[in-house]
Structure 1
């Protein structure tokens, strides 16, 4: 029996022996297996320094992490909505497998369908293999599933704190709003989460740990203290690229799927002279949460775990700040699916950049491989270790994002192909059209390209699970209602 199997198979025996023997086993386990610190940032698109998504962004702490690990510049979410995206990442199963296409209560994930019921949450897998697991903040859609972590530091309800009255946008169906509030960082839930993680990292743990921090900003409302707004003067800000006729060449179903009646449009933002204010508020929110990341990184670097801890940072999907006339995620276009992914192995060899298309679904198999744990055969993602060793190695894969049954986006190095449930298509050639302004799906010269990309579409499209719901527009409200009627 090899040393790894011996350590894990000895777990039950160790707990039944004398305290001294148990300590020896735990000490050996702690020495052999690396820790994992995973930082999740809600609604963070590519507006961070390592991805260069916006000229005015200021993210010194995320930049610091990027300088120690591998930055994936072409990483995409399993779904452009936090509920299904996070459920997919934590189960290791695609939305098209579990039928979780909309939001879902944390404790309902495994009751979505038969395949979901067989899943083992990422945190549970680490726990089953001898790890201490701890989390704080938003990890799943709301908090964490009951019993999925040994220790949970909690999360304040909602996305506050909220001012006495809305500042800019008064539709009660959304948290969307922006402006300087509250007075101090100490009043922000993310500040408390960072302090909780820092305390955990200063504590003696007698087993390797899997630790997760789920930060709320830059999720709306874009409310952070004034000092973060001051870092991004309005007269210096650049606006995202925008083409007024952008949606003229997309199919009708694309407009139905992405309709967001509760959200401001770019036209509204222009007419009311609010676009720069919204960009400023989003950038301010990013800079604030970057400071929280810095608090955690400082704590790790000053701890006994600095030399044996992998650090992973990711956002749950992208976000549109005026592109495609949207201020939201909830779409299969680049701005809504692309998100940061940075992986720093326990023994970092410095900064690397990979341009290969990867999915956040790949996190589960990658992390357990990095820590020397046995493969979970249920995982549908791919181990990214080859790209951690050689960032632009041959990679014959694509990243797939799903938004409702049979609605998928396929992203490769060069192309984005979107196929909707009625057969409608979009195709964008990023070599010539990085803003996705020209849908070339109907052009004959791209016929062979489309045929290849179709091969990446999921072969399974599970029925919409009755435990999943989304009522953001009539299209999804109808799907949710039909699922409940068939329950």
Structure 2
């Protein structure tokens, strides 16, 4: 009789577990966000890049060659990705949008992010580093003491960050070696640093070490988990240990294939590289559309950016190796996501705040469980807002009905039947839409050169605006835009 009672209780428990949306087969998720990571990786065809760990992951994953973020700035891009929605108002293009739309809002029946939805469906959610906008997940200013207010108040079971000698998340975000930061040095710094330090001599090395420890703890929980790991580089300043600089020969580093401002484009389409010019007072040169940096300095900056990518590649390799060591890989989804792209002198710009391809196109690599020998290339258009419904489908969780994204699972399975017709982008000066062959930019407040149209079949670097000579294509693509509802 006692045995029957125990069996009956077990059946009730498993039934309740299943009805809550949780199943024994639900995969773990390791979501790795990388700040300002354009698809400058070996697996994206840049054979001069030293990214062996990401390239190995790519050989076992689906690499999305045409992934576009919604907004070319960190906070707003992450907001769209986390909510699965396009921005609907100019306020959603600012870096503080998460604070305004999530942190300071009253709780509702709707999940604040897909991480919160996973948590509500039985996942243990752990965050390390920059997943939302703030470097450590808490709300405070660059020069303020660390607060206890979480940027995502409902999403995390555990939120951690190792600041090391930098003491605050934002000082770690702008870290220089030895515990210094752009803030403590009052911006009297160069936009790069090569220091003879170990990986842990910069904050991202500490993030990798903390993630490794956390994986051991998560395995012991005996329940599905979501681990978000947010790396800071290659965001400015382009700082990395010297061993990663030494992977490249400076004189062999290629320059931008499109260093000049494009023809026939309204100046509002460009940016003055304000983040670069205003934040690093010891920069040797200050770029503008009229005065690009010298080839020598451009090569030095690109060298620094490449070194920062190789540094992050090594940190990601450590996390994936730990998954393997703990025998977690076979039941874990791995996602590597860049929050937007970056102009490395392209169009004379050093920054991201534009509607060009360079600012909106970023890396996206997804590895599904059980696909260790099946690398795929997906050429179709995909967007960051598609990550939310994709995880819902892979984890057998019903998504909210109001998502703008669509699941990538068919593409992960090799189908092209549901490829998108267009990818949308938003910025303060206008809108953009990209289809298979063209990119259209629309600047509604401008009287001249209101549109910019680029033919990606014969002008992949967006050098010449052909809007005036192809009004029919402009009108066709304009129908795909989604202006704000103001």
Change (3 A) 1:97 1:120: farther
Residue 467 of structure 2 is aligned to residue 453 of structure 1: no
Structure 1 residues 112, 439: CA separation in 2 closer, same or farther (over 3 Å shift)?
farther
What pairs with 1:139-178 in structure 2 (closer than 5 Å)?
139-142=131-134, 143-144=136-137, 145-154=152-161, 156=163, 157-158=169-170, 159-163=173-177, 177-178=191-192
What is the aligned length? Answer: 440
Q: Does structure 2 retain, via aligned residues, the 8 Å contact 1:39–1:312?
A: yes
Larger mean Cα displacement after TM superposition, 116-125 or 92-101:
116-125
Call closer, same or farther: CA 1:271–1:375 in 2, change over 3 Å: closer
Q: 1:352 to 1:104 in 2, by over 3 A?
A: same
The secondary structure found in structure 2 opposite 1:62 is helix
* Partner of residue 39, structure 2: 46
> Which residue number in structure 1 is paired with residue 267 of structure 2?
252
Distance 1:201 1:165, change over 3 A: closer
Residue 448 (structure 1) shift? 3.0
Distance in 2 between residues matched to 1:409 and 1:176, nearest whole Å:
33
- SS of residue in 2 equivalent to 1:262: helix
Please give the per-residue CA displacement for 1:277-300, whole angstroms capped at 9, x wherever unaligned.
Answer: 111100000000000100011011
Give every structure 1 segment of 4 or more consecutive aligned residues whose post-TM-superposition deviation is greater than 4 Å: 17-30, 111-119, 163-168, 170-176, 256-261, 266-269
Offset from partner CA, 1:310-329 (integer Å, 9 cap, x none):
11111000001000111111
- Corresponding residue number in structure 2 for 1:81: 73
State the 1:114 CA deviation: 11
Q: Specify which of 195, 199, 203 is matched with residue 209 of structure 2.
A: 195
- Is 1:381 equivalent to 2:388 in the alignment? no
User: Which residue number in structure 2 is paired with residue 234 of structure 1?
Assistant: 250
Between the aligned partners of 2:374 and 2:179, the Cα distance in structure 1 is 47
TM-score, with normalisation over the residues of structure 2?
0.82
**Helix, strand or coil at the partner of 2:38:** coil
What is the CA-CA distance between 1:115 and the residue it aligns to?
Answer: 12
Alignment correspondent of 2:424: 400
Q: Is the 8 A contact 1:417 1:453 kept in 2?
A: yes
Alignment correspondent of 1:304: 327
Residue 275 of structure 1: aligned partner: 298
Secondary structure (helix, strand or coil) at the match of 1:75 reads strand
| CA gap 1:373/1:97 in 2 versus in 1, 3 angstroms | farther
> Which residues of 2 match residues 404-415 of structure 1 at below 5 A?
404=428, 407-415=430-438
SS of 1:235's equivalent in the other structure is helix
The answer to whether the 8 Å contact 1:74/1:338 transfers is yes
Residue from 377, 382, 388 that aligns with 1:364: 388
> 2-side partners of 1:101 and 1:65: how far apart?
32
Per-residue CA deviations over 1:110-166 (Å, capped at 9, x if unaligned) read 278999995521110000111111110001110332332101112632224325899
- Cα distance, 1:387 vs. partner? 1.2
Alignment root-mean-square deviation, CA: 3.3
Q: Distance in 2 between matches of 1:164 and 1:344?
A: 36
Is 1:327 aligned to 2:350, yes or no? yes
Aligned to 1:13: none
Query: Who is 2:197 aligned against?
Result: 183
> 1:398-437 maps to which residues of 2 (within 5 A)?
398-404=422-428, 407-422=430-445, 424-437=450-463
Residues 62 and 315 of structure 1: CA distance in aligned 2, closer, same or farther (over 3 Å):
same
| TM-score between both structures, scaled by the size of structure 1 | 0.82
User: Which residue does 1:135 correspond to in 2?
Assistant: 127
SS at match of 2:30: strand
Distance 1:167 1:111 in 2: 27
Q: Give the Å deviation of 1:401.
A: 1.1
The separation in 2 between residues aligned to 1:91 and 1:97, in whole angstroms, is 15
Name the counterpart of 2:237: 221
Shift of the alpha carbon at 1:90?
Answer: 0.8
Q: Check conservation: 1:67, 1:350, Cα contact below 8 A.
A: yes
Partner of 2:282: none
Counterpart secondary structure, 2:278? coil
Q: What is the CA deviation profile of residues 353-372 of structure 1, one whole-angstrom value per residue up to 9, with x for unaligned ones?
A: 11111110111011111111
CA contact (8 A) 1:229 1:281 kept: yes
Question: Cα deviation per residue 1:392-417 (whole Å; 9 max; x = unaligned)?
Answer: 44524211111127x11111122111
Work out the CA distance in 2 between the residues paired with 1:447 and 1:138.
Answer: 43
Q: Secondary structure at the match of 2:403?
A: coil
CA distance in 1, matches of 2:9, 2:474: 64
Residue deviations 1:194-238 (CA, integer Å, cap 9, x gap) = 122222222312211111100001011111111110001112211
Q: Is the 8 A contact 1:76 1:337 kept in 2?
A: yes
Q: Take 2:75 and 2:66, find their aligned partners in 1: how far apart are those partners? A: 21
Segments of structure 2 that go 5 or more residues without pairing to the other structure are 1-7, 138-151, 164-168, 280-285
SS in 2 for 1:295: helix
Q: What residue in structure 2 maps to residue 93 of structure 1?
A: 85
User: Which has the larger displacement, 132-141 or 250-259?
Assistant: 250-259
What is residue 141 of structure 2 aligned with on the other side?
Answer: none
Are the equivalent residues in 2 in contact too, given 1:139–1:212 (CA < 8 A)? yes
